[in-house]
């Protein structure tokens, strides 16, 4: 149950005046379902307006306030998608068109009666020979109402909402802000020059002041750090089991390569953790091809040598099957019993696996979410390995950890290199091992940037590649073409590219994207993995978890539309076998400086950790690490610059609070609890209560 002090903020958004069913839909699209969501819906930017006496005094692209008198309404022809225009004149007789598209035009006739002067606020642009204001921000009878809007917040909208509507809801939400106890020490608050919480939230809707935004970002980062530390503390409170293997099974492994220094170091760190009674919670960060699977196998064999079982969780069935086959081959000389459990396992096959887990005859289990299910029980689970960790939420990790008699050790893995400065944001509750060197003999991927205007040459090159018996990927930014949306109309679509390539190569081509049913998607990847299909056309759905050593060519269309981390992961789908591999980055025309720098870096290096750091510098803002999975809240306030600057501070403060200042039961800790709810990290409080 949440503290009573937060009740006004957790009231449903329908409790605000003017929120009916029609307004509720676009609010839900923006994630604004409670009063607190509206209060934290900060402006994306602020617009400054210039009051002008007549149109001659304004400039194109300028935000203006001007008195205009409507002289004619021009509705589009019936059935036409044309705009609704109102011609209006200024005091000097100059004409301007006030223009609306779609449903937004409905109120124009009522708001702008012919012959009656109105004050208009909006952006002055030109359409042909005529000045126009598209979708005016404000239409008022009285000039005094507009003069106060010379500087105005601009909020992110969804269809059906207007800036004035959102501003009105924000005003109501801010009026309900309760008095909350301060969770930041007064000395720290004064030193940073930050306002109090309630003042900061109000000022956040009025100004771009850096100290105001930093205060709110710090709160969010502190909440995240506290929640992750609670997870770590909870793991350490649970009774674990010290596991020490005798090395017999590991000694029987016949690896075709020598371990790298980074692999040896990581294995030693994991072995040291597992030898402790406190359950291990470690993240293994490894670049594409750095050999995470071998490190994970060594950890699983430590558990088996100690008489326990190990389970490996993968996010997709394809990846689970690939891990199973790879591990089964490496485990051959050891005699260790390994099994695969996915949603496809039915009847006797499934019953046999469940019995083997319960009696301990199955020592290692590889699977998908199926291994979370209540019906899956282990005789003695000692280690959980979670691959592609970012696909799973904290709650799912805890669910699997609860399968053991005692808390099992947990090793999470990710192939997405994360800048060191940001690791705390997502993995603050974990110790981290990094595989920052590639196994010897791994060939560099020949990466080239090619103009989109050379498409015919590229397709001819793909044809020669397939004719030589090799396989290739072709990746597009979107699934299908979207007409009528200028920003999206020219984006390459996988369905259209598949149709064109299939016409040329026939059944050698297969299509895979995220909107296909899972069984169809898996069947397509299996056709490619087995060699029945030679060319796989896809979206970024193949970014991780597709391992086809025979595929030696990657074509990424409109590569400038992808982030550096994505490009690096996609490129990592090739170069996995003995043959030389090539990655072609097709660039469109009109490349931005940032886009040019991204593609140049891709040509220059294959170091994923360097790419991650450079990507951070090039982006300079935006959401950390893409979309959060499994219902965990994303960072909605803190941007990347603030994370770099404030994360170490917030994490250090959270650690001090938990370890030295009385934890969340102290007066300041009680105040800090409120943050866990405000920023959707309330599973941290549930852990604190043992829930």
What is the pLDDT averaged over residues 482-487? 43
Answer yes or no: do 332 and 251 share one domain.
yes
Answer yes or no: do 431 and 454 share one domain.
no
Identify the DSSP state of 437: S
Compute the distance between CA of residue 649 and CA of residue 255 in angstroms, rounded to an integer: 44
Q: Identify the pLDDT of residue 367.
A: 92
Answer yes or no: do 450 and 394 share one domain.
no
Final residue of a structural domain among 125, 154, 183: 154
Q: Identify the pLDDT of residue 420.
A: 62
Domain contains 465: yes
Which uninterrupted H or E stretch holds 593? helix 593-604
Answer yes or no: do 410 and 456 share one domain.
no
Domain contains 666: no
- Binned at pLDDT 50, 70 and 90, residue 684 comes out as low
Q: Identify the pLDDT of residue 630.
A: 35
Tell me how many degrees the CA angle 328-331-333 measures, rounded to the nearest 5.
Answer: 130
Compute the distance between CA of residue 72 and CA of residue 457 in angstroms, rounded to an integer: 55
58: CATH: 2.40.50.140
* Tokens representing residue 399 in the block: 């669910």
Q: Identify the pLDDT of residue 304.
A: 97
HSE value, Cβ hemisphere, 13 Å, CA-based, for 79: 0
pLDDT for residue 391 is more than 60: no
Q: In this predicted model, which residue has the larger pLDDT, 403 or 263?
A: 263
Under 8 Å between Cβ of 577 and 256: no
3-state secondary structure of 623: coil
pLDDT for residue 306 is more than 50: yes
Final residue of a structural domain among 154, 169, 184: 154
Residue 387: closest CA among 408, 403, 411: 411
Q: Identify the pLDDT of residue 428.
A: 60
Which uninterrupted H or E stretch holds 364? strand 364-367
Domain contains 683: no
Q: Identify the pLDDT of residue 629.
A: 33
501: CATH: 3.40.50.300
Identify the residue whose tokens are 């009109």.
Answer: 590
Residue 468: closest CA among 564, 385, 582, 392: 582
Q: In this predicted model, which residue has the larger pLDDT, 490 or 658?
A: 658
pLDDT for residue 678 is more than 60: yes
- Binned at pLDDT 50, 70 and 90, residue 124 comes out as very high
Answer yes or no: do 452 and 421 share one domain.
no
Answer yes or no: do 487 and 555 share one domain.
yes
- Binned at pLDDT 50, 70 and 90, residue 138 comes out as confident
3-state secondary structure of 532: coil
pLDDT for residue 502 is more than 90: yes
Q: Identify the pLDDT of residue 483.
A: 46
Domain contains 223: no
Answer yes or no: do 400 and 369 share one domain.
yes
Answer yes or no: do 464 and 500 share one domain.
yes
Answer yes or no: do 430 and 474 share one domain.
no
What is the pLDDT averaged over residues 142-161? 74
Final residue of a structural domain among 588, 605, 622: 605
Give me the domain span that covers residue 105: 45-154
pLDDT for residue 85 is more than 70: yes
Domain contains 255: yes
- Binned at pLDDT 50, 70 and 90, residue 333 comes out as very high
Domain contains 232: no
Provide the domain count of the chain: 3
Per-residue HEC secondary structure of 305-352 comes to HCCCEEEEECCCHHHHHHHHHHHHHHHHHHCCCEEEECCCCCHHHHHH
The Cα-based distances of 388 to 123, 158, 313, 605 in angstroms read: 46, 32, 9, 23
Domain contains 638: no
Write out pLDDT tens, residues 26-55. Answer: 999 999 999 999 999 999 889 888 889 899
What is the pLDDT averaged over residues 66-70? 94
Answer yes or no: do 554 and 517 share one domain.
yes
Q: Identify the pLDDT of residue 662.
A: 67
pTM: 0.66
Which uninterrupted H or E stretch holds 284? strand 281-286
Answer yes or no: do 562 and 460 share one domain.
yes
pLDDT for residue 309 is more than 90: yes
- Binned at pLDDT 50, 70 and 90, residue 634 comes out as low
Q: In this predicted model, which residue has the larger pLDDT, 155 or 615?
A: 155
pLDDT for residue 143 is more than 90: no
Identify the DSSP state of 141: S
Domain contains 619: no
Under 8 Å between Cβ of 472 and 552: yes
Answer yes or no: do 420 and 450 share one domain.
no
Write out pLDDT tens, residues 430-458. Answer: 788 888 877 766 778 999 999 988 999 99
Task: Indicate the average pLDDT of the chain.
Answer: 84
């Amino acid at each position: 149950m949440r503290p009573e002090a937060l009740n006004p903020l957790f009231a449903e958004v329908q409790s605000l005046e003017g929120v009916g069913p029609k307004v509720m839909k676009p609010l839900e699209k923006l994630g604004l379902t409670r009063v607190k969501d509206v209060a934290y819906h900060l402006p994306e930017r602020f617009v400054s307006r210039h009051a002008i006496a007549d149109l001659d005094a304004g400039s194109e692209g300028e935000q203006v306030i001007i008195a205009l008198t409507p002289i004619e309404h021009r509705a589009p022809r019936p059935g036409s998608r044309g705009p609704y225009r109102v011609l209006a004149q200024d005091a000097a007789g100059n004409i301007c068109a006030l223009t609306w598209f779609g449903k937004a035009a409905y109120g124009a006739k009522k708001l702008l009666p012919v012959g009656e002067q109105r004050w208009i606020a909006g952006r002055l642009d030109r359409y042909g020979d005529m000045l126009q204001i598209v979708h005016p921000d404000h239409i008022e009878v009285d000039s005094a109402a507009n003069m106060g809007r010379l500087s105005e917040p601009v909020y992110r909208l969804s269809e059906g909402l207007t800036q004035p509507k959102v501003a009105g809801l924000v005003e109501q939400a801010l009026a309900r802000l309760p008095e909350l106890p301060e969770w930041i020490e007064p000395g720290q608050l004064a030193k940073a020059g930050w306002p109090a919480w309630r003042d900061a939230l109000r000022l956040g809707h009025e100004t771009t002041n850096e100290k105001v935004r930093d205060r709110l970002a710090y709160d969010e980062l502190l909440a995240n750090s506290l929640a992750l530390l609670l997870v770590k503390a909870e793991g350490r409170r649970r009774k674990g089991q010290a596991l020490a293997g005798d090395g017999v099974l590991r000694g029987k492994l016949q690896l075709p390569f020598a371990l790298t220094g980074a692999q040896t170091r990581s294995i030693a760190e994991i072995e040291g953790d597992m030898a402790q009674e406190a359950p291990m919670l470690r993240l293994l960060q490894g670049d594409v091809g750095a050999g995470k699977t071998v490190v994970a196998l060594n950890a699983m064999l430590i558990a088996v040598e100690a008489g326990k079982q190990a389970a490996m969780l993968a996010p997709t069935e394809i990846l689970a099957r690939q891990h199973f086959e790879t591990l089964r081959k490496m485990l051959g000389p050891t005699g260790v019993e390994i099994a695969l459990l996915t949603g496809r396992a039915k009847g006797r096959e499934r019953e046999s696996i469940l019995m083997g887990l319960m009696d301990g005859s199955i020592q290692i289990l590889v699977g998908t979410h199926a291994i979370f299910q209540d019906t899956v029980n282990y005789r003695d689970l000692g280690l959980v390995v979670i691959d592609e960790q970012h696909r799973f939420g904290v709650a799912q990790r805890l669910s699997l950890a609860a399968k053991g008699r005692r808390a099992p050790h947990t090793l999470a893995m990710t192939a997405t290199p994360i800048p060191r400065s940001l690791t705390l944001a997502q993995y603050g509750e974990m110790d981290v091992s990094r595989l920052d060197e590639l196994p010897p003999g791994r060939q560099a991927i020949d990466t080239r940037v090619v103009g989109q205007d050379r498409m015919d040459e590229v397709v001819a090159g793909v044809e020669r590649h397939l004719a030589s018996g090799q396989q290739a990927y072709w990746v597009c930014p979107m699934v299908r073409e979207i007409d009528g949306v200028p920003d999206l109309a020219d984006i390459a679509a996988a369905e259209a590219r598949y149709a064109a390539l299939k016409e040329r190569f026939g059944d050698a081509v297969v299509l895979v994207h995220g909107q296909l049913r899972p069984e169809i998607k898996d069947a397509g990847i299996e056709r490619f993995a087995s060699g029945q299909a030679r060319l796989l056309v896809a979206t970024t759905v193949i970014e991780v978890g597709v391992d086809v050593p025979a595929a030696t060519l990657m074509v990424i269309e409109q590569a400038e539309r992808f982030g550096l981390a994505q490009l690096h992961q996609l490129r990592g789908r090739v170069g996995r076998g003995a043959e030389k591999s090539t990655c072609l980055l097709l660039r469109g025309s009109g490349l931005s400086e940032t886009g040019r720098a991204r593609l140049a870096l891709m040509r220059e290096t294959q170091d994923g950790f360097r790419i991650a750091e450079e990507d951070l510098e090039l982006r300079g803002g935006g959401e950390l690490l893409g979309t959060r999975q499994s219902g965990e809240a994303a960072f909605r306030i803190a941007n990347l610059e603030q994370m770099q600057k404030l994360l170490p501070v917030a994490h250090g403060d959270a650690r001090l609070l938990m370890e030295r200042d009385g934890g969340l039961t102290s007066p300041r800790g009680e105040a800090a609890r409120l943050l866990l709810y405000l920023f959707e990290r309330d599973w941290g409080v549930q852990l604190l209560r043992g829930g």
